[in-house]
Every structure is written in structure tokens, then in C-alpha cells.
Amino acid sequence: MRTLTVDLGDRSYPIFIGYGIRQQKALFDDAIHGKQVMIVTNDTIAPLYLDAMVSMLSADYKVDTCVLPDGEVFKTLEIYGNILTALLEAKHNRTTTVIALGGGVVGDMAGFAAATYQRGVPFIQVPTTLLSQVDSSVGGKTGVNHPLGKNMIGAFYQPQAVIIDTETLLSLPQRELSAGMAEVIKYGLICDAPFFDWLEQEMPALMSLDNDKISDAIYQSCLAKAKVVAQDEREGGIRAILNLGHTFGHAIETEMGYGNWLHGEAVAAGSVLAIDLSWRMGNLTEQDVSRSVALFQAAKLPVLPPQTMTLESFVERMALDKKVLDGSLRLVLLASLGDAIVTSDFPMEDFNDSLSDALEASKQAHIV
């Protein structure tokens, strides 16, 4: 088992990574302080992993469960309210512990319920998708969507512990594995050039879920995220580098309709756009660009935007993105491979050329 700590003073917490560790009761015992536990999961994950967790914890705790409908469309105030209702109906008090068993949707919603139930009760993340293991379970962003915007309601609220069981990845659909890999590659690009090199070597092993390799990749990713979060918990500055490819990506996600392009797929195509722009500005070599494209492709991710989009649709969507400050579009770009910067200082002509060329290449790729 690998262990690391997210260093946030008295809100610091451990991240455990290992095969089968969702069955190690001692990890839970250390993070649970009361006698009540509420496991929140969804109806896809429940048949796979819920019973075993309930039996394990029932030996020492009063365990209740709350099974949500699966899907980003259910990441709403209404379904979040159902978690609070379940807690109240089962008479959970302020010493209860909420356990989020699932991907980022379950983690964000259960975390927000924990942040707000009786003004805050402890919670534990047990992320079961690669994306949630390397990204959403670490760093304390919790919340739900509003019809007018994604993740528009929420709180910063850190868990007591993150328990990452790599065995759960065995049941994950390949497309979801790829989507999570986009965020893994992101860490190499923004802050860890040696990790990027290592990913180039190991991507085939990672895609076939070699356990040692995937545990290392998750460890390095969590380490990168934990370091950034420790410096800037509430995204006043450096934490924004974690959004490489995300402003372009959100434009793709919203334009195509949520769910048609997975978040990680949109981030991959969006990162390639940010990388191309960084190259046009003279920050990267052509080889840096081709290596990055090849790495996303090795993870079975798209590297071009949808051919149905236009320059105008990108600009319109990106102008609405919450990262736009004072009217100027701020982007995460690379100063070099392994070093990101956040800036609104880029030539508009290069920005337009990056998008136009990629959209043209996407059209060509569909004609062939």
C-alpha cells in the first residue's frame, strides 16, 4: 500500500492507495470517530461493492445506506436533498461519518451533504473511477450542478481520509478509464516532466491495469494535486493550473451536451489545443506537441475537437466560462513541457489559428 498526506494544517488527511484496501477495516476505523455511518453510492456501484462494505463496517457501527440514481444529470439539489433526508430519517447525529463510495458524481454530492448536514460531519472518500481517484476525491471541492451552470453550488470541505482501492478499476468501462487518464497525463504536462516521460513508457501497461504501474500513476497524480492544493486550497492562484485544457474542454462538453463527450475526453482535446497555442507562442517544440498528442492517443483519447463545432461556438462558450476574469479570457498554457502558467496574455491570432487548424483537421479526419 502507498500512503501520502494532503498537508492542510489541522485539516490534513491521508490518502491510501492499494489493491483490495476497501476491505481493510482498520483504515476506516482510524477515520470514523462516532458509531454511525452513512454510505452514499449509486445504483451501478451498489451491486458491485456495497454489500461487502456494509458487512465489514456493521461489526462495529450502525450502518445505513443511500443509493442514488447514476448519472451527472442527477447531480442536483434535489438528489442532494435525498441524502440529507436519508440522514435525518435514520436519525444520524453530528458524530456520524458519511462515506462516498463511487465516482466523482457520488463524491461531490456526498461531500456536499457531509459539509452541510448539521453544519458539517466527517466524511471519507472511497473513489471508484480513475478520474475520482486522481482528481475529484482529493482537494475538498464538493457540490452539485444548477440548471444554469455546472458545479455552481458547493463548498470547500476536506475529507478525513481518501481510500483508493485499485481493484475497483477492474469493473470500470474502458472509456471511463481513458477519461481518467486524461487527468493523469495533465499532471505530467503541468508540473512533472519526468512523470510525463514515464507515462510515455508505461501507457500500454497502465491501460491494461498493471497493478503496480497504475498504483504508481495514481500516487504521482495525487502527490501533484496534493502539492498544488496545499499551496492554494481555494483556488486564488496556482490551483488554476489544474484546469489545463478545461476551458476549451468545457466549451466542448456544453456544446455537445453533457455525457456525449466525457469530461476527460473533452479535457484531452482541450489540452491539445492549449499545447498547440503554447507551441505557436514559442514555448514548446514541435516534438513536444507530437509527443503529447501521441500520449493522449495511446490512452485512447480524442486529440481533435468535434468536427461539428466552429471557431464562433468555441469563442462564445469560452467567454461564458467561470475562469474569465474582468472580461479577459484566462487560459492555462505551458511555459515548457512540465511547467504550466495561467495567463490572459496570448496573441489572439495564434488562439484563432490553433482553433481553426484543429477544426479543419477534425473535418478532414471525418472525410477520410
Ligand X SMILES: NC(=O)c1ccc[n+]([C@@H]2O[C@H](COP(=O)([O-])OP(=O)(O)OC[C@H]3O[C@@H](n4cnc5c(N)ncnc54)[C@H](O)[C@@H]3O)[C@@H](O)[C@H]2O)c1
Applying CB under 6 A, which residues contact ligand X?
Answer: 42, 44-45, 48, 70, 72, 75, 102-106, 108, 128-129, 131-132, 135-136, 139, 141, 151, 168, 171-172, 176, 179, 263
Q: Is 72 annotated as a binding residue?
A: yes
C-alpha cell at 15: 490518502
Q: Is 10 annotated as a binding residue?
A: no
- Write down the residue that cell numbers 454511525 correspond to: 36
Gyration radius of the chain over CA positions:
20
- Write down the residue that cell numbers 492554494 correspond to: 232
Q: Of 151 and 211, which CB lies nearer to ligand X in the complex structure?
A: 151
Q: What gap in Å lies between CA 53 and CA 293, rounded to an integer? A: 40
Q: Is 143 annotated as a binding residue?
A: no
Q: What minimum distance in Å lies between the beta carbon of 214 and ligand X?
A: 13
Q: What is the 8-class DSSP label of residue 166?
A: G
Q: What minimum distance in Å lies between the beta carbon of 13 and ligand X?
A: 15
According to DSSP, the residues that pair with 156 across neighbouring strands are: 141
Q: What gap in Å lies between CA 53 and CA 195, rounded to an integer? A: 34
Q: Of 191 and 284, which CB lies nearer to ligand X in the complex structure?
A: 191
Q: What minimum distance in Å lies between the beta carbon of 141 and ligand X?
A: 4
Q: What gap in Å lies between CA 38 and CA 61, rounded to an integer? A: 10
Q: Is 76 helix (H, G, I), strand (E, B) or coil?
A: coil
Establish how many alpha carbons lie within 13 A of residue 162's alpha carbon, considering only the half-sphere containing its beta carbon.
35
Q: Of 24 and 44, which CB lies nearer to ligand X in the complex structure?
A: 44
Q: What gap in Å lies between CA 198 and CA 83, rounded to an integer? A: 41
Q: What minimum distance in Å lies between the beta carbon of 353 and ligand X?
A: 30
Q: Is 74 annotated as a binding residue?
A: yes
Which residue is at the shortest CB distance from ligand X?
A: 104
Count Cβ atoms within 10 A of the Cβ of residue 287 and give its class: 0-12 exposed, 13-18 middle, 19 or more buried.
exposed
Q: Is 92 annotated as a binding residue?
A: no
Strands 161-165, 13-18: pairing is: parallel
Most distant CA atoms of the chain, gap in Å = 64
Q: Is 75 annotated as a binding residue?
A: yes
Q: What minimum distance in Å lies between the beta carbon of 120 and ligand X?
A: 17
Q: Is 108 annotated as a binding residue?
A: yes
Q: Of 36 and 136, which CB lies nearer to ligand X in the complex structure?
A: 136
Q: Of 92 and 246, which CB lies nearer to ligand X in the complex structure?
A: 246
Residue 187 sits at φ, ψ, to 5 deg, of -60, -40
Question: What DSSP line would sit under 169-232, residue for residue?
Answer: GGGS-HHHHHHHHHHHHHHHHHH-HHHHHHHHHHHHHHHTT-HHHHHHHHHHHHHHHHHHHHH-
User: Residue 187 CA to chain centroid, in angstroms?
Assistant: 12
Q: Is 33 annotated as a binding residue?
A: no
Q: Of 170 and 294, which CB lies nearer to ligand X in the complex structure?
A: 170
Q: What minimum distance in Å lies between the beta carbon of 171 and ligand X?
A: 4
Catalytic amino acids?
Answer: 119, 141, 183, 225, 235, 239, 243, 246, 250, 263
Known binding residues for Zn(2+) = 183, 246, 263
Known binding residues = 70-75, 104-108, 128-129, 141, 150, 183, 246, 263
Known binding residues for NAD(+) = 70-75, 104-108, 128-129, 141, 150
